[in-house]
Amino acid sequence: MDLRPIPYAATYPLRHQVLWPDKPPAYCHLPEDPAGLHFGAFQNDELVAVISLFVQGPVAQFRKFATRPDCQGRGLGTALLRHVLAEAARLGARRIWCSARLATLPFYERFGLGPDGPAYQKEGIPYVRLHKALP
118 occurs within a structural domain: no
Residue 56 phi, psi (nearest 5): -130, 100
- Per the CB < 8 A criterion, the answer to whether 16 and 60 are in contact is no
66 occurs within a structural domain: yes
Domain with residue 29: its CATH number is: 3.40.630.30
State the pLDDT at residue 72.
Answer: 92
Instruction: Report the chain's mean pLDDT, rounded to a whole number.
Output: 96
CA–CA separation, 25 and 14 (whole Å): 10
Mean pLDDT, rounded, for 8-28: 96
CA–CA separation, 32 and 4 (whole Å): 20
State the pLDDT at residue 97.
Answer: 98
124 occurs within a structural domain: no
For the chain, how many structural domains are there in total? Answer: 1
- Quote the percentage of the chain above a pLDDT of 70: 100
**Banded model confidence at residue 126, pLDDT cuts 50, 70, 90:** very high
115 occurs within a structural domain: no
* Eight-state DSSP code of residue 123: T
- Using DSSP's 3-state secondary structure scheme, residue 31 falls into coil
123 occurs within a structural domain: no
**Banded model confidence at residue 125, pLDDT cuts 50, 70, 90:** very high
Mean pLDDT, rounded, for 42-68: 97
Could you list the residue range(s) of the whole structural domain that residue 62 is in?
A: 2-98
Residue 36 Ramachandran class (φ > 0 left, ψ -120 to 50 alpha, else beta): beta
pTM for the full predicted model = 0.95
